[in-house]
Structure 1
Amino acid sequence: MAQWRPDPTFYPSPKMAMQAPMEKHAFVAMLNPAGNGRPDALAVVDLDPGSNHYSQIVGQLDMPNAGDELHHFGWNACSSCLCPYAPHPHMERRYLVVPGINSSRIHIIDTKPNPRQPKIEKIIEPETLLERTGYTSPHTIHCGPEGIYVSALGGADGDGPGGIFMMDPESFEILGQWELDRGSQYLHYDFWWHLGHDTMITSEWGTPNMVKDGLNPDLLLNAKYGHQLHIWDLRRRRHVQALDLGAEHQMALELRPAHDPTKAYGFLGSVVSLNDLSASIWLWHHKGGNGAGAWAIQKVIEIPAEPAKPDQLPPMLQGFEAVPPLITDINLSLDDRFLYVSCWGTGEMRQYDVSDPFNPKLTGSVHIGGIVRQASHPAQPDAALNGGPQMVEISRDGRRVYFTNSLYSPWDTQFYPEGIRSWMVKLDADPGGGISADANFFLEFDELRGHQIRLDGGDASSDSYCYP
């Protein structure tokens, strides 16, 4: 008699996931910024060092429509399928759920049987999304115990509130809005959770109207972008607490909670301070008790802006005579030891030892690109590169770090007006701390720009775990 077995890429704990086989392929969202009618695409990149095609695109799926601006995609199912309160271990990590932030269209992409030849299984049109949720501009996908969770930036008119909606992980039908009581939450960006503590965390960027045409200087200088973290009761779907970084800390974006479900803390990246253009990392943590007041947040890392001459800077920054770090992504290794911080403006990837999350220690730094520095890569030591470390992904064993250099087309244009020449690189990470660029891995994209990365079988930001 046939017997159902869990997908072999599902792991009960992050410790077991770290023992998984090495990734062979990366799936990379590629954006078309030109507005010439060419659609975005999903690239398949060879990650096998023994392959003749190492660091090259070995497959590509073009989307059927132009103008999607593919964004933070994820799997239909992952290790959270093994959680005891909502188990569905018969699921398979097979489909990528790929949202378009501009079009509000969602693509369901089948990666099997051949990951180098992905195919579109289903497309959810924006009219269906709006009718069933009231939301537009889907942004981030996470697979959870009960199904697929998706964040959205706003509503029908391009204003707020943004929020989260649910999708069925087998039929991919949109089920509806997740929030039963949103409390004070209005702006939205990222979300994650502490499954062991029945808690969801959400962050803030801006509504579609606030971000779709680029960074609005008036909104920024008047501190109108997001600067709060929100705490939710995950099972009851109700807002519990708002934690304010201070209005000067604009754009509270990426969230990375501890992978160990017994731990109740995580890291948030804030893009820029209005006081001095610095960027910062904040730690949220559980103080004890329940309800309002149970959680707190504090700044644990500050990265200063770097002085620069006005003629080295894009028009938006010339009056400041400095280049801001612009933290646009962060990621946390599965052992909760190393935090990676993308400084898109200064062109630096930083590695911190966060074994003591309240006292991070800088353990590694690599410069590639940057508004002013334009640092080269070992593969092309004489070539000035632009863009900077942006979307970052870590292998499950923590030994390899991949990143691309495009943020979001209208924002790319403001900070890199010469046009981003897009690339993807890989760092080798020492288990004891320290990072270095792999001289053999330098992928230059064609007219398209690389953005979000997913590794086959899972990575450090694709799965959540219910066992320590």
Structure 2
Amino acid sequence: MNLRPDPTFYPSPKLAMAGPAETLAYTLMLSPDASQPDGLAVVNVNPQSAEYGQIVHKLIMPNKGDEFHHFGWNACSSALSPLSGHAFLERRYLIIPGIRSSRIYVVDVKGGPTAAKIHRIIEPEEVFAKTGYSRPHTIHCGPEGIYVSTLGGGGKDGTDGPPGIFIMDCETFDVIGRYEIDRGPQDKQYDFWWNLPRDYMVSSEWGLPPQFEGGVVPEDLLSNKYGHRLHFWDLRARKNVQTIDLGENHQMALEVRPAHDPVKEYGFCGVVVDTTNLEGSIWTWWREGGKFHAKKTATIPPEPAKADDLPPLLKGFEAVPPLVTDIDLSLDDRFLYVSCWGTGEMRQYDVSDPMNPKLAGSVHVGGIVRQAKHPSGNAFGYGPQMVEISRDGKRVYWTNSLYSTWDDQFYPGDRGAAMVKADVGKDGGLTLDKKFWVEFPKGYRAHQIRLEGGDCSTDSFCYPSA
């Protein structure tokens, strides 16, 4: 334990933006066929270094078949909460869940880029016994502990009861138990985040394990059986206070991104596909008059394509859906980045007016039909997927794998791992960095990224920006 607060804890988003630039990125590597263990790659992102864009350390796990997906820090700026903070924690440990195995690794990254090591392994039996949940997915660090969302309930196929969120101790890493006291109508789970001073949380929905583990189930998708609702919670009472249905055709309401400044009571959600027209969409949700509301504020159309150029799953549509699989919001709440995994596009929206997003920048790399190359000349397999933004908003990083079985359906054949970076113009706009191309070990795919000192999809803030 530190004797004073970790200097990477920032009271407000504005102060975080003024902090030192990241020099390291931590990126998950997964083995899609479970032939080798998953791992963590430590990438040098310091442009002044001779090792810029290179993996400087790899931590390979002792087990196979975990399927690393999302992960997060043990503690962040929410530790400075005036209510129930642990101000003397360190942003030191990465909590890495295996979405297939339900095993959780606690990795200590203190001591420099080559010092990352396993601190503790939480076996799936402990998760099952203490929570009744399975398939841990998203990690967020709150003032009093580590919150973990899950995609499965109990039983072999994860459908014995609904999935939900559980809490871990942020110092011992013991699994404490379920979050929910009253879940209301919530029966699926995906992402979640909160506004701590306003004392509410929002969560979203993907699907149950039989709907995603073997790949997308076309019959379920066309029958609108994937998630399409947002759930709002009284954070401290752990009670569902409102559920908003976006419409059953808006399939897979995934990432939720609240405004970082806690004064603002709005946020964004990305929807993968509209089954009536193959559009992707961005929704803005907000609280007014004591109630939550949600509205579709941006749409992204599909691109026409010849059936012969499409994978079997899409041939009958003769179009490529954008497939909005990730979104991320800059710390100043100005730019929203949208990954269009199907069309191979990274979009940047100016959301200064959250009810009227305006397209401010775009780059293409990868894509089902486009297959746009990176400016380095390398082929970018799959499409832009997990996106992460530097705290100062000047750099945007992303990888290319969605989920192993889904990768194989939409992009048949192994396309390899990729991680790239774009620079952001002063008034918007994106330019891919020709010099930043990360080579991953053969047989791996790359998923989520975490940045040294925190990033825009990690930190929660308890104080407004001045």
| Normalised-by-shorter TM-score class | over 0.9
Structure 1 range deviating more: 334-343 or 441-450: 441-450
What TM-score comes out, normalization by structure 2 length? 0.97
The answer on 1:23 being equivalent to 2:22 is yes
**Equivalence for 2:447:** 451
Q: 1:139 aligns with which of 137, 140, 147?
A: 137
Equivalent position to 2:376, from 371, 376, 379: 379
Deviation (angstroms), 1:340? 0.1
Which consecutive residues of structure 2, in runs of 5 or more, have no partner in the other structure? none
TM value normalised by structure 1: 0.97
For residues 388 and 284 of structure 1, the distance between their equivalents in structure 2, rounded to whole angstroms, comes to 27
Q: Say whether the 8 Å CA contact 1:406–1:420 is kept in structure 2.
A: no
Return the match for 1:154 from 138, 152, 155.
152
Partner of 1:392 in structure 2?
387
How far apart, in 2, do the equivalents of 1:69 and 1:50 lie?
A: 33
Aligned to 2:319: 322
Q: Which deviates the most, 272-281 or 383-392?
A: 383-392
Q: After superposition, where does 1:258-407 map in structure 2 within 5 Å?
A: 258-289=259-290, 294-380=291-377, 383-407=378-402
Tell me the equivalent position of 1:168: 169
Shift of the alpha carbon at 1:112?
A: 1.2
Contact 2:55/2:439 (<8 A) preserved: no
Q: Give the equivalent residue in structure 2 for 1:435.
A: 430
Note if 1:7 corresponds to 2:6. yes
Alpha-carbon distance in 1 for matches of 2:381, 2:285: 33
Paired residue for 1:111, among 92, 109, 112?
109
- Correspondence 1:14-93 to 2 at 5 A: 14-36=13-35, 38-93=36-91
Unaligned runs of 5+ in 1: none
| Contact 1:60-1:117 at 8 Å conserved across structures | no
**Match of 1:196, SS?**
coil
Q: Cα deviation per residue 1:294-338 (whole Å; 9 max; x = unaligned)? A: 000000010000000001100000000000000000000000000
Aligned identity (percent) is 62
In the TM superposition, what is the alpha-carbon distance from 1:13 to its structure 2 partner?
A: 0.2
Shift of 1:384: 4.1
Task: Provide the C-alpha distance between the structure 2 equivalents of 1:418 and 1:441, rounded to a whole number of angstroms.
Answer: 25
- Quick check: 1:120 aligned with 2:115? no
Deviations 1:410-451 (A, max 9, x none): 100000012222210000001211110011101132221110
What do the CA deviations read for 1:47-92 (whole angstroms, capped 9, x no partner)? 0111111001000000110010012100101100001111211100
Q: How does 1:127-276 map to 2 (within 5 A)?
A: 127-157=125-155, 158-159=158-159, 160-276=161-277
Q: Are 1:398 and 1:431, in contact at CA under 8 Å, matched by a contact in 2?
A: no
Retained in 1: the 8 A contact 2:2–2:88?
Answer: no
Distance in 2 (CA, whole Å) between partners of 1:265 and 1:240 is 16
| Aligned counterpart for 1:416 among listed residues 407, 411, 414 | 411
Cα distance in 2, alignment partners of residues 226 and 11 from structure 1 = 34
The question of whether the paired residues in 2 share the 8 Å contact of 1:342 and 1:389 is answered with yes
Deviation per CA, 1:77-121, whole angstroms, max 9, x where unpaired? 110000111121110010000000000000000001123221000
CA–CA separation in structure 2 for the residues paired with 1:232 and 1:384 = 43
Contact 2:420 2:438 in 1 (8 A): yes
Q: Distance in 2 between matches of 1:431 and 1:259?
A: 20
Distance 1:74 1:409 in 2: 20
* Structure 1 residue 195, shift from structure 2 partner: 1.1
Contact 1:31 1:41 in 2 (8 A): yes
Separation (CA, whole Å) in 2 of partners of 1:235 and 1:376: 48
Q: What amino acid sits opposite 1:35 in the alignment? A: A
CA distance in 1, matches of 2:243, 2:415: 36
Count of residue pairs the alignment pairs up: 460
SS across alignment from 1:132: helix
The amino acid of 2:132's aligned partner reads G
- Partners in 2 of 1:385 and 1:332 — Cα distance? 24
Shift in Å at residue 3 of structure 1? 8.8
Distance 1:177 1:385 in 2: 40
**SS of alignment partner, residue 224 of structure 1:** coil
Tell me the secondary structure at the aligned position of residue 60 of structure 1: strand
